[in-house]
Structure 1
Amino acid sequence: MIRIGNISLPDFPLLLAPMEDVSDPPFRILCKDNGADLMYTEFISSEGLIRNAINCRRKLDIFEEERPVGIQIFGGDEESMALASGIVDVTNPDLLDINFGCPVKKVACKGAGAGVLKDVDLMVRLTAACVKATKLPVTVKTRLGWDEQTKNIEEVAERLQDVGIQALSIHGRTRSQMYKGEADWSLIAKVKNNPRIHIPIFGNGDIDSPQKALEYKNRYGVDGVMIGRAAIGYPWIFREIKHYIQTGELLPPPTVEERVAVCRKHLHEAIKWQNQRVGINEMRGRYASYLKGLPNIKEYRNRLNRLTEVAEVEAVLDEILTTYAGFELQRTPIELIDYHENCPL
């Protein structure tokens, strides 16, 4: 069993990565339904929280059915990070996570996210400030380093552990790589095998199949894996990995009925979280992924994307169930999109 503070996780837990404009409460609940063991919110600006920015405050919303869940913050100022940690503390998540990995220019080039990788001393000070400001367990998500010449993750891991973090998630690329090339898990394994390291180490990067999850578990010895891009539009990835690790067998791909059920649940959770207009609008970008693989589905997607009433959406989903009754979907590779190309930040 893996422990982070008072949180108990199963052996080799599967974590849902924090992704801006993706990891909202409706999506997190779907991932929880399908076996995610620990999830994180979209990352939140410490400065925005302090200024009481509406969008930042909305990201603090968490619900009992998705626990354990962590709230992730980012920033480059010690006082702001400490104040934001205190605000997070009041909202009562299960843990506080610090983002030292976001490579987006608007974040990294302002000395936050992966930008802090250029100054390890600052990273340590920011982390220590958060640990002192909250009663929550503090964890960190980061990358191997800023560029090929500064892969300092082993030093970073030791120093962050020394100031009190209780788990570390490592994406196997540098900031300069963004999402290019293949993630290098060998350095993640070095951190895990460092005799000084006693906190859980989670690997992140390129896990897009049950087979790869098991291969990396065995090859690199990490305590668990964090899954980001592979879960976008495919929350079933978590249950498929768990089943494969336990049995060595691949589950069949989700059925038409399961795909439509996820569309319905996501829609209703989005409406419950916000309102009907916003919920229906936000679902328009989700149908393509959930219904991928169904022949001639474009007509239905186009209709769904024009609707404004829940009853109308439900009627089209019912029609899809009838049209594709008995259709057996084939397994296709999960496409790992370059997520940050379209990141709203």
Structure 2
Amino acid sequence: MNFLINLQNTRRAQRNRKGAMLVLIAVMLIAFMATVAFTVDIAHMHLTRTELRTATDAASKAAAIELSISQDRDLAIARGQSIAAQNTVATDPLQLVAGDFEFGNARANGAGKFQFDNSRFPTNSVRVSGRRTVGSASGPVPLFFGNIMGVEFFEPSALSAATYIERDIVLVVDRSGSMLGQKFTDLVSAIDVFNNTLAETAVEERVGLASYNDRATADVPLTTDLNLISTSMASLPVGGFTSISRGMSAGKTLMDASRGAEFVERTFIVMTDGRHNRGPEPRTVATQLAADGVQIHTITFGADADQPRMREVAQIGGGQHFHALTGEQLRDIYREIALTLSTVMTE
């Protein structure tokens, strides 16, 4: 009798355990499905943010380029709207209205970034507010499982400012005696690379050429015809001592004819393979140029070049110093600098 009672109790306990397990499995299954739903929506939100950033960047760049060409805000807005609509955000084209576009001026703030100001002139920048929010042209983004969590929509936004920078550039090159032969051939080739790289940018930069040994010449005034730079480089006489400062001063005479710091970014690229041994101190000339709003990059070429001094010149001019040991490295440096002088920049 006791055996039967124990058997019945055991079976009853087993049924209770099975029932409890079924309840636990059901609860875990619900939690798992909720987690999956939450994960899907999180991934959807991240992708939407990325798409919105891409579309907003594209719209601001397109508007800035159009503004630089036409100087017409309505055309810039229309171009930005057109490009935005070609980009999908959560499967829908991004729709922008005129109020999503803001025009102003952007300038380098000294920390490597551009600062947008809608009250400053000249107008060289377009800032775009891309939104998928309630009240925006495209509306909010529905979530797949948002109703489970009590949130039906996702409302991302992105802000992008694209700046069209016009630039006047003066190349200051070394043609002293130490540049004879392969070194000068490498320099001519590097300048060709620089010109070809600039030719691929969105606008036509103006470039001038000055050269020096113990004396200096202003060889090519600021021009958009980069072939003149290459042609003049190939015909420069090589020989003599080294006066970097006189080369920079010759370049300054070219830059004095530029459109002015209030309209364009102005840049010097000063190259040498040796050590300054004639004329005023280059750092003094660099200080004068920097006070006039000119940025100075410097390039040293070869093992005998005065890197410490040229590094200081670049620091004074708010630019960078580069060093090349070979012709290939020299070409790479001129290409890199040309790319950093890009005319469209996005915050």
**TM-score, structure 2 normalization:** 0.30
Name the larger-Rg structure: 2
